A and B are shown apart, each in its own frame.
Chain A
Amino acid sequence: MISRVAESCFWLNRYVERVEVLSRMLGVNLAFQLDVDLEDAERWRPLVVVTGQEEEFLKGSEAALADDSERVQEYLTWSEDNPSSLYSSLRAARENARTIRETISLEMWETLNDLWVWLGQRSARKLYHGDRQAFYLRMRNQCLLFHGIAQATMLHEDPFEFMRLGTAIERAGQTARILDVKHHSIGPTASDGDEAPGEVAEWLAILRFCSGVEPFLKRNTAAPSGASVAEFLLFDRAFARSVLHNLDRTGNFLRLVRPPRPSPIGERSQHLLSELRQRMQEMTIESVLSKGLHEVLTWIVGATGELSGAIHDDFFDAPAQGPPGQSQEQSA
C-alpha cells in the first residue's frame, strides 16, 4: 500500500486511542476523586502530566488558577491550543481519516465524522455541563465502536494491520505513562512495593484508567499494591493494555506488514522490537522496583518512541529508487 496512506492508518488509530484513554481517565477521575482525600492539584495535575502537556499548561495559566479542577478539565477536553486535548486528538484522528477515506470503510468514516460534528454542536456542550460522566462515556464508547466497525468492515490486510500496529504501540506507551501517574501525585513507589493505606485507592484508580480492575482481581486476591499493579500492567501477557501484551501484538502486526519473503524492509523495526521484548522478559517486578519504577517506565516510553520512529523510516519514508535491474535498455 501507499506509504503515506499506511502512515495515516497508523496515526488514525493512535489518535483514536488517545481520545479513548483520555476520556476514560477524565471520567474515572471525576467518579473516584470522592474516595481519595487529595488536593485538587494532586487529583487533576497528573492527567496533564500523562498527556505530556504540563509545561504548556502552566505557561498558559495564572498560577493561582492552574489547579482549578474545572480549568484542568476544560483544558484537557476542549482546548484547541492543547494538542493532546480530546478536541485536538479527535480533530487529528478525523483529519487522518479524511485523507484516507478511499481506504477505510464508509461506516468507520461516518462514526468518526458524526462524533466530530457532534462535538462542535451545542448539544455536546450541554451534555458536558449537564452530565459529564455521560459526556466522557459517549466519547470513549464511540472510539470502541470505531474499533469494532473497523474489525467488521475492513479487509483484514495491510491498511488494517497498520491501524492495529498504531493501536498496539500507542497502548504500550500510554500504559507506561499512566502507571507513572502515581509517581507524579504521591511520590516514588517504595522498593518493596508496599503502600500506605491511602495509596490503595490511588492504585485502584490507575487500574480503572486502564479498564483493569476486574482483570486484575482475577489474578490477585490481595488488595492492590504498587508491586502487584505494576507487575500486572507491565507483564501480564493476556491483559489487553499491558505493556508486554502490546509488544507481542506489535510483533504480530509487524510480521503481517513485512514482505512474505526475507527482505530488508522493516528489518530495523523488527530488530528494535526484539531487543525491547527481550529486555522486558528478563525483568521481574523485584528488579523493576529496585531499579526504580519511574526510571523503568521512562525507559519504556523512550523505547516505544524509538520503535515508532523506526517504523516510520522503514515503511513510511523509503528512498525514491526504482527496483534494481530495471535498466534503460529493457524498456525497448
Chain B
Amino acid sequence: MDTSSSAQPLFEGYQPLPGTWDEYFEKPGQPRGEARRVIELLDDLGAGEFRVRQRLADATFLRGGITFSVYSDRRGGERIFPFDLIPRVVAAARWQRVEAGLKQRIQALNAFLSDVYGDQRILEEDVVPRDLVLGAKGYVEAMRGVRPPGGVHVHIAGIDLIRDPEGEFLVLEDNVRTPSGVSYVLENRTVMKKVFPRVFSKSLVSSVEEYPLRLVEALASVGPAPDSEEGTVVLTPGPLNSAYFEHSFLARRMGVPLVEGRDLFVDQDRVYARTTLGPKRIDVIYRRIDDGFLDPEAFRKDSVLGVPGLVRAYAKGNVALANAIGNGVADDKGIYPFVPDMIRFYLSEEPLLGQVPTYVCAREEDRKFVVDHVDQLVIKAVDEAGGYGMLIGPQASRRERADFRARILANPRTYIAQPRIELSTCPTWASKTVSPRRVDLRPYILTGTQGSWVLPGGLTRVALVEGSYVVNSSQGGGSKDTWVLQEEEEA
C-alpha cells in the first residue's frame, strides 16, 4: 500500500455546507467524536489508494450480480446500485435512542392496524379522521375482522429517517408493506470488509449479519403450526422485478425456498408448493408482492403474479403472510401526521422520535396555506413512492408549481406538504475529491410474537448529484455502509 508523503489526505479541504448537519465534521477541520477514527484511517490511505479501492468495490458488485433490473432497458439490463465507500457513522448512545423510538413507533402502528381491522376505537374517538382512514388507498375492507397469526401485522418495517440541522433524527416516512433495500445493507458490509479490511477491523462496528436469521425467527413465531420453519417460503414476483436480487438473496441467507406465484396453489383453503415429489404444505409466506396482486380471486383479476385462493386460506388462519394484508393504510402519507397521536392513544407515551411537520391538504386551513406557499414546501402525493409524484417547491419552476396547485385543489385528499428539511450531509467521493452529499437512513425493524428487533444501522441512501435532495435509486441515488459504533468514542 502506498502511504508515502505523495498520498493526499482524503478529507483535506472538506467544507461542510452552512445550515446543515454534517455527519463527519462540526466545522471545517473539526471532526465529530464518532467520526474521528475513520477519518484518520481514510486519511492515511490517501486519495489515490481510495480510488483504487472504489474501483475494486464496483467490480465486486458487478461480479456478484448484485444489481437491480432496469425496466426500460430492452435487453433486460441490470445495473449496480452506486455505492460510496465512505461510511456513515452513528454513535452508540445516539443509536440507542433511535432504536427505542423505532420500536415504539412500530408498536403503535401495529396497534393501529389491529384496531382499524378490528373495533376501530381510534375512529370512534376521532383521534384519526374516519374518512381519511377508510378512504385510504391501502385500506382493505375485506380484512375487517381477520386477525393475523399472533396479532402481528408489521413483521418487517423500514422507517425512513432524516437528520435536521440540529442533528435530530426525524421520521420522514413509514414503510410497512414491502420495504426493500436490506440486501444492500448486508452486501455493502461484505464489500467494505473486503476492500477496507484494516479500516474495518479497527473501527468497532456493530454487526448486521444476523438479520436473515432474525427474520426466520420472527416468521417462525407467527407460523400457524409449531415447528413451521419447514414450510416457510419467500414469494417473489419473479426475475423481472427490480428487487429480484434481494428476494433471492434473502431466501438464500434464510435457507428457505424462493417461489413465484405459479409455484404455489391453494386446495381446500390450504397452501401448497408444487415440488418434484408432489405437493408440500406451506404455512408462512414472506411475500414481496403487493396486496393488489396477491390473489386474483380477491383483488386484481388480471394478476398473474399471485396465487388464486391465497386470501381465503389466509382468512381461515391456514397461512401466515408477512407483512399482513392491508398494511398500506398505516404507511399512507396522509395518515403519517397522526402517528404521534396514535402513540399517545395506544401506548400512553410521548413519541421518542420527532417527525416532519405536515400539512394535510384534506383540511381546509392547511390546504389554503399550502396553495399560498407552494414555493416553500415539499409536496407529496400520498399514494406514490420512490420519489415520484413529488414537488420540491423551492427548486421547481413557475409552471410546475402552478400545475401542483391545480392538482391539490382538484384532489386535496391526495396531497400533503412539508417544509423542506436541510437533510444532513456525509462526505462522499465525487470523482476527484470528497464533497458533502445529502443522506437519509432506512433502518429495518423485525417483529414477531416476542417483540421487535432493530438492525443496527440500516440503509444510508445518498443523493450523489450535487445540491440534490432526492436519494432514491431510481433518481440518481446511491448507498453507503452505515456504521453503528459499539461503544462511545472518547471525547
Contacts and interface: CB of A to CB of B under 8 A. Distances in A.
Contacts, number: 87
A265 B279 CA distance: 11
A322 B274 contact: no
A5 B318 contact: no
B226 interface: no
A328 B28 CA distance: 71
A315 B274 CA distance: 9
A257 B269 contact: no
Interface residues of A, number: 32
Given A98-B239, A331-B318, A2 B64 contact: no
A1 B258 CA distance: 11
A1 B278 contact: no
A145 to B, nearest CB: 15
B278 A265 contact: yes
A105 to B, nearest CB: 10
Interface string B233-275: 0000011000000001101100001111011010111101111
Nearest to A330: B268
B268 A2 contact: no
A110 interface: yes
B63 A114 contact: yes
A101 B63 contact: no
Interface in A308-332: 315-316, 318, 320-323, 326-328, 331
A322 B267 contact: yes
Contacts of A148: none
A99 interface: yes
Given A98-B239, A113-B65, A315-B276, A5 B257 contact: yes
Interface in B336-382: none
A259 interface: yes
A283 to B, nearest CB: 32
Contacts of A326: 267-268, 270
A154 to B, nearest CB: 13
Nearest to B257: A2
A116 to B, nearest CB: 9
Nearest to B277: A259
Contact of A6 (B260, B276, B318): B276
Interface in B176-192: none
Given A109-B65, A117-B62, A321-B267, A3 B279 contact: no
Contacts of B316: 331
Interface string B39-68: 000000000000000000000001111000
A90 B65 CA distance: 15
Contact of A3 (B65, B263, B267): B263
A117 B316 CA distance: 48
A328 B312 CA distance: 13
B63 A99 contact: no
Interface string A96-136: 00110110000001100110010000000000000000000
Interface string A272-307: 000000000000000000000000000000000000
Contacts of B64: 110, 113
Nearest to A116: B65
Interface residues of B, number: 31
A322 B272 contact: yes
Contacts of A117: 62-63
A4 B277 contact: no
A318 B274 contact: yes
Interface in A4-28: 4-6
Nearest to A322: B267
A248 interface: no
Contact of B275 (A3, A101, A113, A114): A3
A6 B248 CA distance: 16
B189 to A, nearest CB: 16
A320 B258 contact: no
Contact of A2 (B62, B65, B274): B274
B230 to A, nearest CB: 13
A95 B78 CA distance: 12
A158 interface: yes
B318 A4 contact: no
A318 B257 contact: no
Contacts of B251: 102
A102 B257 contact: yes
Contacts of B279: 318, 320-323
Given A326-B270, A331-B268, A331-B318, 15 more contacts: A1-B275, A1-B277, A2-B273, A2-B274, A3-B275, A4-B259, A4-B260, A102-B251, A102-B258, A110-B63, A113-B63, A259-B277, A265-B276, A265-B278, A320-B272
Top 3 nearest A-B pairs (CB, nearest first) are A322-B267, A320-B265, A102-B252
9 contacts: A1-B277, A2-B257, A2-B259, A4-B259, A101-B248, A113-B63, A114-B63, A318-B278, A321-B267
